[in-house]
């Protein structure tokens, strides 16, 4: 049987541990390597990425209906970029320090990358 003191002590410990949960979850975000999917990118929404020395923020992950098994989606980054940074393969480095190479298209406010991961 648990007495009142032990109950309060264990509850306080659980609350203190839960307060640190967001930081732990952020540290455990999935990587964005070659097989990253929709959910992986969604977990990085709001993260700032470096592209060729310029900061861009992942602002949206948009799905596209395809009627087939798999995923089709786009990721959009917003940020100030020099005029000469156009469409092409770019290395983006996020908070984890793990770079990801994507083909990006220049948009009015930043960059966009499209993914088509259809199966069978």
Inside any domain, residue 16: no
Note whether residue 17 is domain-resident. Answer: no
What is the pLDDT at residue 36? 78
| Euclidean distance between CA atoms 14 and 4, whole angstroms | 15
In a domain, 47, yes or no: yes
Inside any domain, residue 88:
yes
Q: Per the structure, how many domains does the chain have?
A: 1
Contacts of residues 28-37 at CB distance under 8 Å and 24 or more positions apart, as own/partner, are: 29/96, 31/96, 31/98, 32/94, 32/98, 32/100, 33/98, 33/100, 36/100, 37/71, 37/115, 37/117
Share of the chain above pLDDT 90, in %: 53
Q: Is the Cβ–Cβ distance between 46 and 60 less than 8 Å?
A: no
* The predicted structure's pLDDT at residue 15: 39
**Within a domain: residue 12?**
no
22 lies in some domain: no
pLDDT value at 7 more than 70: no
* Average confidence score pLDDT of the chain: 79
pLDDT of residue 89: 96
Segment 59-64 shows an average pLDDT of 94
Could you tell me the residue range of the domain that residue 50 belongs to?
Answer: 31-118
């Amino acid at each position: 049987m648990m007495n009142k003191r032990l109950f309060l002590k264990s509850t306080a410990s659980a609350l203190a541990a839960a307060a640190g949960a967001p930081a732990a979850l952020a540290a455990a975000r999935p990587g964005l390597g070659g097989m990253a999917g929709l959910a992986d990118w969604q977990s990085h929404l709001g993260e700032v990425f470096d592209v060729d020395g310029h900061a861009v923020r992942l602002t949206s992950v948009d799905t596209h209906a395809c009627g087939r098994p798999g995923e089709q989606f786009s990721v959009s980054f917003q940020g100030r970029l020099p005029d000469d940074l156009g469409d092409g393969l770019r290395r983006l480095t996020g908070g984890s320090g793990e770079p990801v190479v994507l083909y990006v298209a220049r948009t009015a406010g930043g960059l966009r990358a499209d993914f088509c991961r259809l199966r069978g």
